[in-house]
Amino acid sequence: MHPKIVIIIPACNEATTIASVVRHGLDFGDVVVVDDFCTDNTADLASTAGAKVLRLPFRMGAWSAVQAGMHYAARFQYEYYVTLDADAQHDPKDIQKLVQRVANDANTIAIGSDISRGSRARKFAWIIFRWLTRLPCADLTSGYRVYNQKTLPTLLSKKATLCEYQDIGILMLLKKNGFHFAEVNVSMRPRAVGASRIFSNWGTVFLYLMKTMVISLFSHFDTRNPCDDDWRCYGKR
């Protein structure tokens, strides 16, 4: 029996690539596209291509969009939750390879890693991030990941909701709650259109570094069960 996989794609004005990403993703699982208040026809193209589309009422950012997709998908008891970028940088063919790395260990998160893609700004940020966070990952900012059901109480907790980005803060929270990471080498394509919203210039990199430093300095999360902050767990205590 094939594992039940859902692919969650946060999208903000990705009309150029979204249909292709959805079609290729459907070869490996169900696809949920979260429209982060797009001003183009991203949502319509995603729906026509076969995705379930969730439309946010205002722009919330990539991580909040991912959480919205996870809240929706959690109702259907998927085994694996894949996060995939809408800009066609990630090849859905690597999903099976990533799923295999987490299939035998419920405490593992698989990260698609391609350190060759890094610009000077990104590589500089990676060095600082690893020093600040002590996270054992080479590609700390990859959004190409596979999570399993066991991670959901952590990923959908109030603490996770406070994170602006899906990479550093979420990885630190997962590590704090006993999860570990398996990096899988993948090849990422250059963006077809536009540029990274985080690493577009040194100013945004500096701002991101400052936010990461604050997260790192105040990363002593309490040790309560993540269900204490998860509305889905109420009544299960």
Is the confidence at residue 24, as pLDDT, over 60? yes
The pLDDT value given to residue 140? 82
Which pLDDT score is estimated for 172? 86
Query: Would you place residue 178 in the very low, low, confident or very high pLDDT band (cuts 50, 70, 90)?
Result: very high
- Mean pLDDT across 28-36: 97
Phi, psi of 55 (to 5 degrees): -110, 120
For residue 29, the cross-strand partners are none
Most confident among 96-105, 199-208, 220-229 (mean pLDDT):
96-105
Lowest mean pLDDT among 166-180, 185-199, 222-236: 222-236
Phi, psi of 57 (to 5 degrees): -75, -15
Which pLDDT belongs to residue 22? 98
Confidence check: pLDDT of 74 > 90: yes
**Interval 2-14 mean pLDDT:** 92
Domain 5-233 CATH assignment equals 3.90.550.10 = yes
* Whether the predicted pLDDT of 197 surpasses 60: no
Using left for φ > 0, alpha for ψ between -120 and 50, and beta otherwise, residue 61 falls in left
What is the arithmetic mean of pLDDT over 100-109? 93
CB atoms within 10 A of CB 27: 11
pLDDT at 37 over 90: yes
pLDDT of residue 127: 82
Domain range annotation of the chain? 5-233
pLDDT for the residue 101: 94
